[in-house]
Structure 1
């Protein structure tokens, strides 16, 4: 199984009562696969992984794995603060048929680079699945140094990293220090998809793909076919959606956008509030703008 291309950072649809909306989760998963995505990345930051308990996470993963039914690889986020907790969840996800795991750095605690190396090594030892490192310092308070990533890339089943630092220099350094190794670098910041591909990255885990997968896929396919102009155009088209993310706590704006677009993903998980007021109006205008361009 090769991990590359565009993998949506899947939203987790909820009912008004805050329970997992299985029907909408299946609908969204199917819609994305039919759009041509290269994988599904569930229980990441936009999937609100940090707000679900273990049983809810397993349920969400089971639904996604069942609906995908082997059509594309399924990556499941199993990150947490304690090494033991991550290992336990990773084993459960392996048992139910996940294709790969995504493991975020610990958060709330701020481990040293040495500590985080041991953390990831232990997790990798306890699973036969490929492991994708996940770096998002704005949410975790720590960043994986390039030297750390180079060392972890030596572990046979640590196969890549998703970088959501928003810092292109960081991505370039990850690519540089893992050159010649069987290791893949993915953009986790949607504004940097094309730049990452040009620098030697293999794809993106993209939140915007929940609503406009065709545009995100066009960045990748145009780049692959040497059509830089088409790739640049598609990259630019993500901006209106990304610009609305500021109007609510993540992922409130994206959930509202996808709901208005036509898939009932419901509200965010509390304590995050549903979008309202000016923010809601801005999102409505943005969706309308895409419709006028016949993009959606």
Structure 2
């Protein structure tokens, strides 16, 4: 399986009763694919994975996998704090047809690098499908070290890492440490997509692509076709959205933006609330800027 391009970190649509909205999910999946997504990444940070039960995760993943119908790869988040629970959920996702798994580091308690190695090797051994490591230290309290990634890259079905550290040095460290392996480093920071591509990243897992898929895909495609000036323009174009995303708890502003652009993804799960009333005009201004 080749991991490359712009993979969208898809939001999880909910209805007015905070239940998964499967109809809106199908609508969003088809829009993202028709706008050029290289892959669909579900049950990540912007997918509110931490607010869903395992049963809901399986039902949601099944809906997405069926709707995608192998048009692009589906990466399913199965990470958590308990190795046994992650293994159980990973096996379930393999059974329903996930193309690959995304496994965030355990969080809240900060495991040692040795414990991380054990955790990831145990999960990888429990399934046959590929695994993407997920590093997001500001949310988890732990950064996967370059040495740990270098060792995990030698495991046959651990084929990449999504790095959301926000550090280009971190991304570069992973790229250098895994250059001899079949291993893809992906930027999980939308502001660093082009910088990461320039130093050898294979693509990005981008939340902004929920709204700006064509723009984000342009960064990648212009880069691989050596149109660097146009790639830079597309990269800079994300900043108008990014500046607004900071005005609420993740992913409240992103979901509100989608709703206001006629994609009925609903609200976030509590305790995350709607963006404040004074933020709405700023969201609308941003959508006008993009012609949405």
Return the TM-score normalized by structure 2: 0.99
Give the deviation of 1:36 after TM superposition: 1.3
Q: How do residues 89-100 of structure 1 correspond to structure 2 at under 5 angstroms?
A: 89-100=89-100
| Cα displacement string for residues 115-174 of structure 1 (whole angstroms, at most 9, x for unaligned residues) | 000000000000001000000001101000111100110111000000000011100100
CA distance in 1: counterparts of 2:275 and 2:27, whole angstroms? 22
Q: How do residues 65-214 of structure 1 correspond to structure 2 at under 5 angstroms?
A: 65-214=65-214
Which aligned segments of 4 or more residues in structure 1 are displaced greater than 6 angstroms?
Answer: none
* Corresponding residue SS for 1:270: coil
| Cα displacement string for residues 78-121 of structure 1 (whole angstroms, at most 9, x for unaligned residues) | 00000000000000000000000000000111000000000000
Gapped runs of 5+ residues in structure 2? none
Residue correspondences, number? 292
CA distance in 2: counterparts of 1:82 and 1:29, whole angstroms? 30
Q: How do residues 238-257 of structure 1 correspond to structure 2 at under 5 angstroms?
A: 238-257=238-257
CA distance in 2: counterparts of 1:24 and 1:72, whole angstroms? 19
* Corresponding residue SS for 1:262: coil
Aligned equivalent of 2:264 = 264
Aligned equivalent of 1:46 = 46
Give the deviation of 1:2 after TM superposition: 1.1
Give the deviation of 1:276 after TM superposition: 2.6
Q: How do residues 195-234 of structure 1 correspond to structure 2 at under 5 angstroms?
A: 195-234=195-234
Gapped runs of 5+ residues in structure 1? none
CA distance in 2: counterparts of 1:215 and 1:176, whole angstroms? 28
Aligned equivalent of 1:15 = 15
Q: Give the RMSD, CA atoms, in angstroms.
A: 0.7
* Corresponding residue SS for 2:290: helix
Aligned equivalent of 2:35 = 35
Aligned equivalent of 1:284 = 284
Matched, 1:274 2:270: no
CA distance in 1: counterparts of 2:252 and 2:281, whole angstroms? 13
